[in-house]
Amino acid sequence: MDNYIFIRVVGKGSYGEVNLVKHKTDRKQYVIKKLNLITSSKRERRSAEQEAQLLSRLRHPNIVMYRESWEGEDCQLYIVMGFCEGGDLYHRLKQQKGELLPERQVVEWFVQIAMALQYLHERNILHRDLKTQNIFLTKTNIIKVGDLGIARVLENQNDMASTLIGTPYYMSPELLSNKPYNHKVNCPPALTLSSFICKCL
């Protein structure tokens, strides 16, 4: 943490907390996700470590940017990511309070989500928890898909996964039916997102 200046806490939960910071050298703002390795469960640790590992390999304008991660002497895992000033899509839509979103904006968001998913699928990565709470916005309304903690990397395009995991409301029929699945399971959530966004039209 020596390279960062703490600004404020932006999120807190059972996993730990997320802090907004500024880098001392480049003066840019980032978020640092902190996970207590002593009090967290094995699943939470595995999820955080996987997210850091996956993000470090990804470079796409519509996926949350990874800067660095490390395990501190205080037994905390730190993951530094790009700061999305616009918050998540869930709260952005709630702020509308019945006010209509421009159709062009909805189309732009949907295309950006699709481009991020295509990038992940080309690398045999299943997000498995695509929902409005895991899709973020920059101050210029650019989409950033994040939270890859329960993502799954397949061996190849013909490989299948079988674990029932994710958020029920956004799950695909294959998951709910306990059937093996591949990257196509991200299509129903994407359609759910589009229909949710279109409620604001």
Binding residues for ATP: 34
- Going through the chain in order, the beta strands assigned E by DSSP cover 4-13, 16-23, 29-36, 66-71, 76-82, 125-126, 135-137, 143-145, 152-153
Strands 76-82 and 4-13: unpaired
Pair 127, 117: CB distance under 8 Å: yes
Backbone angles phi and psi of 96, in degrees to 5: -65, -35
Q: From CA 144, how far away is CA 197, in angstroms rounded?
A: 16
3-state secondary structure 31-87: EEEEEECCCCCHHHHHHHHHHHHHHHHCCCCCECCEEEEEECCCCEEEEEEECCCCC
Active site residues: 129
SS3 26: coil
Q: Which helix (H) or strand (E) holds 27?
A: none
Q: Which residues are annotated as a binding site?
A: 34
